[in-house]
Structures are given as structure tokens and as C-alpha cells.
Chain A
């Protein structure tokens, strides 16, 4: 029973390029959360999605960032025109039911480096 799978584990992008981070939730989980972790800081909530719906994007920067969780396939966090400040670890968590982030399981993260 595979856990939350994130890929790639490491991603290097030049300034101005696009970064696509993928998250496959645990089997049977239909709720996905994305968090960002800057070096030596805690995780910061970005967005909460259910299949085909964005439920809460209060932590997402207004520009350049978008997220989706299609009916088929993984959840995608997309960062356009990356800047140095986007360098961070991005974690995805999934849960089987609503309002149960306490039962959410985290992936290993994608470490984005913008050069």
C-alpha cells in the first residue's frame, strides 16, 4: 500500500522557467493539501483540493501559483516564472475524508531550487 508519492524529489529550475510538482495521494484518498517549507521554518499551508475542486486556496500567492486535482491523475502544483524566493520544499498531504487533516499523511516532498 503505497504512501503519498511526490515527484520529482528534487527539481532545479532557472529563473523565469515553470515548475510542475506532482502528488499522487494514497489509494482511496480524495483530499489533497499542499504546504511549503522554507529552510529552517515550519510548513505553511498553501491550498486544499478535492477531486476537480479547489476548496481553500487562502495560502496560495495570488500570482504565478496554481493547483489542480483532476478527476484522473495526480494533483499538480504549478509555479510559473519561478524566482529565487520560490526555492523551498513543497509537501503534499492526503486524507480520505473532509475535515480530517489530522488523518492526513505527508509525502516526502519536492525540493525546488531556483538558480
Chain B
């Protein structure tokens, strides 16, 4: 089945630094989504991307839908302590007509004040 490879697996950075994480797939996706999950909570949608090449920002977050439709990245600028959490990419495959999502393995972000 379709899989997403998300990297890095974890990051430990200083407050104020920029962060970048990405997802790749061997197959094409129609939609790329980025979620954040806090401990004990459900995923919260950060950014949704619907077109190849699309670049979208949400505050300090910027994400892009790769032109090949097989990859996406998420950047966080000027990180702050509340950015701590697990970030997941998720995609809706081209063959899917039910809206189900394929999730990456997650990137755990830790921010040192």
C-alpha cells in the first residue's frame, strides 16, 4: 500500500531557530496535510495543500506541495516553546475516493528555551 516517509524522526532545537521537515512518497498524492499532535490529544490540522507546487503559509508555518506530487515540506520559523509536539504529514492518495488519509511516522520537535 501507499506509504509516507517523514524525516527527520526527531529534532531538538533552540528557541528562535527555524525548523524544516519533509515527507516523501513513492506514489502520487492529491492532497497533502500537516497536523500537530500534543501529548494526549488528537491531531490538529495546521495547513492543507491541494495543488502541485502550492505554497501556503499559516503564521510562522509554511508548507509546500511538491511539483511531482510525491513530496511536501513544512517549515516553522522563529520557533517558540509552544511549538513542541509531534508533527505529522498526511496525504490523500490519487486512487482514494473515500477521503481516507495516509499518515507519516511523525517528527517529534523539542524546543529549548
Contact = CB atoms under 8 A, between A and B. Distances in A.
B66 interface: no
A72 interface: no
A102 B88 contact: no
A92 to B, nearest CB: 8
Contacts of A107: 42
Contacts of A43: 43, 88, 90, 101, 103
Given A91-B42, A109-B42, A101 B100 contact: yes
A3 to B, nearest CB: 9
A21 interface: no
B94 to A, nearest CB: 13
A8 to B, nearest CB: 13
Contacts of B41: 108-109
B106 A42 contact: yes
Contact of A33 (B33, B99, B105): B99
Interface string A73-112: 0000000000000000001000100111110111111010
A48 B100 contact: yes
Contacts of A59: 100
Contact of A95 (B90, B99, B106): B99
A42 B105 contact: yes
B31 interface: yes
A35 B97 CA distance: 17
Interface string B11-41: 0000000000000000000010100000011
B84 to A, nearest CB: 16
Contacts of B101: 33, 35, 43, 45, 101
Nearest to A56: B98
B105 A104 contact: no
Interface of B: 4, 6, 31, 33, 40-45, 48, 50, 88, 90, 92, 97-106
Given A33-B101, A42-B104, 13 more contacts: A33-B99, A41-B106, A42-B103, A43-B43, A45-B102, A48-B98, A56-B98, A99-B99, A101-B99, A101-B100, A102-B99, A108-B40, A109-B41
